[in-house]
Structure 1
Amino acid sequence: MTTSAARTASRTGDPCGCPDYAAATALSRRGFLRGLGLTGAAYAVGSAMVTYGAAPAMAAGVAPAPNGSVLVVLSMRGAADGLSLVVPHGDPAYYAARPRIAVPAAKLLGKDAFFGLHPNLAPLLPMWQSGELAAVHATGMAVANRSHFAAMELVEDANPGSSVRSGWLNRLLGGLDGDSPLQGVSIGSSSPPASLYGEQPVMSLRNISDAVVAGNDQWDTDQARLRSLSQMWGSSTAPMARGMRSAMAAVADLGPVRQEPENRAAYPDSDLGRALAAVARTIRGDVGVSLVTVDQGEWDMHADLGTLDWGAMKYNANDLATAIAAFFADLGSMRERVTLLTISEFGRRVSENSNYGLDHGWGNVMFLAGAGVKGGRYYGRWPGLENSLDADLTVTTDFRSVLSEVVLSRTDASAAQVFPGFTPEPVGVMVGR
């Protein structure tokens, strides 16, 4: 891609054309999981999907989330540049490494003596100032992996070396009470991410209107199709029958969500805006959701990450901040129960390349927002950039330490069950229980 073409693409949020990222996102998640030899079943409900692992699922039923808490995991697909989102203005090597794309210190928000937020994160500044938003820098995997495809799997499994293909969020569901597919929901895609795959039932849907029983439409006024399906599967003891009953029950349990208004006007007109609007609507419906995943793609900025005036970073940072701010405002009284965290498969190199962009790196930043977060602060041990390994930001905090702290603070699950064999280090970003 030429520089001018890349610049045009980045202004619209289109990908820069990294072959590895294109391959990772072109292959469907379900195809990827099948390619790994995973067991499980997926039951279509309209264009939504209810997914089960090896263990049979019982009928769904609305139940409150444990402790009333809800965890929202926002995946920044494509490897976001944490050094642009949270700028280490106090490290002179940052400006030396990025003579054209560095964010000026004078423009940073929420600035302390060393770090500051990208100016296009301005919609999140009120949350930062009120102590509801925090950042943990130099996070990532213990060993660098610069392949989008492999790194996504490793981050979402969060269990390196294991031959069992189960995601950390599915293991987390296994430590919570209840067995409804509505406890773990992926919104914005008709297939769940690897983090949700495993034995526990989950539900994935592009939007709320997708969650219907196929054929049960406006012409089926007497609900004959539902009665027929209930009769067909109601007395069967086959695993598929139990899954079908659970899927139909999950659709019925979404009734309160459909009654909630969709406040789309406050959100950006983007995939993330639409997805978070649906997430807020689902949480406000109070149907027992405990975990939700949502994606924001196209962070793979090899070319024309840009400056404050143009480029993909300007667009993505504003989209991220505007959508998250609208999401928390939209939650209303449910806001005090919701914690959101961001994660990306890896970070970008310290030094800019010749195309106003950045190549694949290692360390990154994680944002945490909402309930239980000790916000208005930057966390993590800064490794320094001058002698960074192979021009990378060195990881000093394993991402699982951050996730473990969220699990312990906001759920009744065991961090040892969610991250087997891992001993977390204290981060301090979450309120203890």
Structure 2
Amino acid sequence: MHQFPLHPDCPDLRRLAPNRTEAMLRAEAAAVEAENTAERDRFRALNDLEEAQQDGRGVTRRTFVTGAAATATVLATSQFVSTQASFAATKTGTLIHVFLYGGLDGLSLIAPANDPVLQKVRPDLLLGTDSPALDRGFMMTSAFAPLSGFLAKRQLGFVPAVSDPRLSRSHFQAQDACNLGGLPAETGGRGWLDALVDALGAGTAFRSVGIGSTLPRSLVGTNGAISLNSVESLTLRGDQRFTEATEKAIKGLFTDINHPVEESVRDGLNALGLAKQIAGKEYQPAEGVKYEGDVGRAFRELARLIKGGANVRVATIGTGGYDTHENQGPREGGQLHRRLNAVAQGMADFFTDLGDQAADVTVMVTSEFGRRVASNRGGTDHGHGGVVAVLSGQKLAGNVLGTWNGLDKLDSGDVPEYNNMFHVYGSVAQGRFGLTTAEVDKVFPRQKFSPVKIYA
């Protein structure tokens, strides 16, 4: 405490006012003003000292404090809300949804071999003779050759003829419906993966992760999700020399405040701590794993999180370039073949890198819709009846899953819907997490879930 010349008991009190009561009030006001001035001068001196120590880098106390405040806001809101920090979720395992934006031609991924309809209407887009054979008379693109080992172990499978009556031929409408698990009016704009998290119990701040700079709509909702390009990108803003002090300050500000935000900030700081721990160690993938390209690097970040103990429950990877109206190129050397090969190589590297931990992971690859059966000048137009690919640590029921009744009767030029998209999504999640049919029903509102046999 500073001692000032004027205070209620000083001998000069009588000269401040004609009566003692008023004099005491004036003395108290003078004392407060003097103390405030002294404190302001002390903070200014500290600020000048701190700025002098910045070596001309232009980092001021004001910008530092502003950055810390912004970080506290993020920790307390969208990135970490309602995560309920606990490193043991009720349901175990991880589901990763890989979305191929643009509308994948499913018949360039798997197709019935020697089909007369395909030979007639798309002779220039048939799969090559190097395509591996699948069950039920199908063959798989050679672009997925990196996954052949998992095919032999019954860990790789495909569901053909997947669609939903809600899907139009518009990219935007169909992508929206796929990410939400229905129409916006049916889902309230909430992503289906966020709704799925409700059934998975408590988890860490990393239980919902989107790899990328923006969060996909499938993860938007009430549970909070993290979007990141790399583990290193999840850090406090501002000068990193003050990171530890900032974390300590934020923790102090949001401790014992009897408010729900206290839990969110605590979980957020735990997430930052784990991210720092993982990023601080040079990551060495398993032997032979290279993680090339954007898709490969996305899988690499998920591998780091899973192997680092982040307890990821649901995650997303998005990649584009599948709107192949021309120069589709489904065979080796073609553009679609190259893109599919990059996805397959990323998946293969990911599962190889995870080792034994891959037993608890399922990767589901989908697109917003399929494409028309007939070729159109070397490409295909928007259609329906796409393909869902599943790579899982659990043994699958086969490598061609669901219903298939052939191409004898097309649906306005499209592959017919033999398997409902959201029933397939729900069945993959149900088997991965051991959910009841009632729990899956809540993920996809206003529709009755009918399971598709995916797992053995």
Q: Same fold (TM over 0.5)?
A: yes
Aligned to 2:115: 91
Q: Are positions 1:408 and 2:430 aligned together?
A: yes
> Which structure shows the higher helix fraction?
2
SS in 2 for 1:288: coil
> Does residue 428 in structure 1 map to residue 449 in structure 2?
no
Which deviates more from structure 2 when the two are superposed, residues 126-135 or residues 406-415?
Answer: 406-415
**Do 1:69 and 1:411's aligned partners in 2 also have CA atoms closer than 8 Å?**
yes
Aligned length: 381
Partner Cα separation in structure 2 for residue 359 and residue 232 of structure 1: 56
Partner of 1:24: none
Structure with the greater relative contact order (CA < 8 A, sep ≥ 6): 1 or 2? 1
* Shift, 1:186, TM fit: 0.8
Contact residue 106 and residue 371 of structure 2 kept, 8 A:
yes
Moved more, 330-339 or 415-424: 415-424
Q: What is the TM-score of this pair, normalised by structure 2? A: 0.77
Asked if the contact 1:91/1:384 (under 8 Å) is kept, the reply is no
Cα pair 1:348 1:363 within 8 Å, conserved:
yes
Query: Does the CA contact (< 8 Å) of 1:50 and 1:181 recur in 2?
Result: no
Contact 2:402 2:453 in 1 (8 A): no
The answer to whether the 8 A contact 2:364-2:389 is kept is: yes
What is the alpha-carbon distance in structure 2 between the residues aligned to residue 260 and residue 368 of structure 1? 31
* 1:228 alignment partner in structure 2: 249
Cα distance 1:426–1:227, how it changes in 2: closer, same or farther (>3 A)?
Answer: closer
Unaligned runs of 5+ in 1: 1-42
2:144 to 107, 118, 121: 121
* 1:226–1:85 Cα change, 3 Å: same
- 1:172 matches 2:193: no
| Contact 1:338–1:370, Cα closer than 8 Å, also in 2 | yes
TM-score under structure 1 normalisation? Answer: 0.81
CA gap of 1:309–1:420, structure 2 versus 1, over 3 A, is closer
1:121-158 Cα offsets, whole Å, 9 max, x none, are 11111101111111110012234411111111101111
Q: Show the counterpart of 1:100.
A: 124
CA–CA distance in structure 2, aligned partners of residues 297 and 122 of structure 1: 21
What SS does the aligned partner of 2:125 have? coil
Per-residue deviation, 1:289: 1.3
Q: 1:51 to 1:96 in 2, by over 3 A?
A: farther
Q: Which residue of 2 aligns with 1:398?
A: 420
Asked which structure has the greater CA Rg, the reply is 2
Conservation of the 8 A alpha-carbon contact between 1:260 and 1:285: no
> Which residue of the partner structure matches residue 278 of structure 2?
257
Change (3 A) 1:379 1:163: closer
Bigger shift: residues 108-117 or 151-160: 108-117
C-alpha separation between the residues in 1 aligned to 2:91 and 2:366?
Answer: 24
Unaligned runs of 5+ in 2: 1-68
Structure 1 Cα separation of the partners of residues 283 and 89 of structure 2: 21
Deviations 1:321-370 (A, max 9, x none): 1111111000022111111111111011111111x111111111111111
Mapping for residues 181-200 of structure 1, pairs under 5 Å: 181-187=205-211, 189-200=212-223
Structure 2 CA distance for partners of 1:156 and 1:59, relative to 1, 3 Å: closer
Q: Does 1:52 align with 2:78?
A: yes
Between stretches 86-95 and 371-380, larger displacement belongs to: 371-380
Q: Give the fraction of aligned pairs with identical amino acids, expressed as a percent.
A: 27
Q: Which residue of 2 aligns with 1:209?
A: 232
Q: CA deviation at 1:406?
A: 2.2
